[in-house]
Amino acid sequence: GPGFGGSCFKKDISNLIYICNHYGLSEVASYWEKVILINQWQQKRISKIIVEKLFGNLSEKKIAILGFAFKSNTNDTRESPAISICKDLLEEGCFLSIYDPKVEINQIQNDLFKNGDDNSKVCVASTIQESVKNADAIILLTEWEEFKKINWDEIVPLMRKPSWLFDTR
């Protein structure tokens, strides 16, 4: 998967690290620190795989992101792996078309950009079809029920060829 997200799990692990250090359990604290580092590594790993599979260059390519919330059935994006992955892909020069059934455009913009940043390479789609139109790849990041029922016979013709699907779920 793309790694864990949400505000609670990372905070709880960080608290566990603090408690372990407080009681002199440095090896246990180190173990839990590695859990957080592996989560960050996993997000970078997915970005690198995408760049590699798309011939080492994302410049001017369009990537459809399906799912931005850290988990399905919520509009919560706190610590969502999608944020890190999208930022990495934007640094590679691609265009992103993001679709999430519950996350609002303002939230996506706030998560990806600081005030004054150029947000012209990101659009927020209102449907899966709109998101994938002329896309070079689809990245499935959140496990929404509707993504399990995608009619691929309808979706694939909307994409550019060769087209890629990266299903992180």
Residue 94 falls in the annotated catalytic set: no
**At CA 112, angle to CA 16 and CA 7, rounded to 5?**
20
Residues 6+ apart with CB under 8 A from 154: 129
The single residue of 8, 20, 94, 123 carrying the catalytic annotation is 8
Q: Which has the closest alpha carbon to 39: 4, 71, 80?
A: 4
* DSSP structure class, residue 3: -
What are the catalytic residues?
A: 8
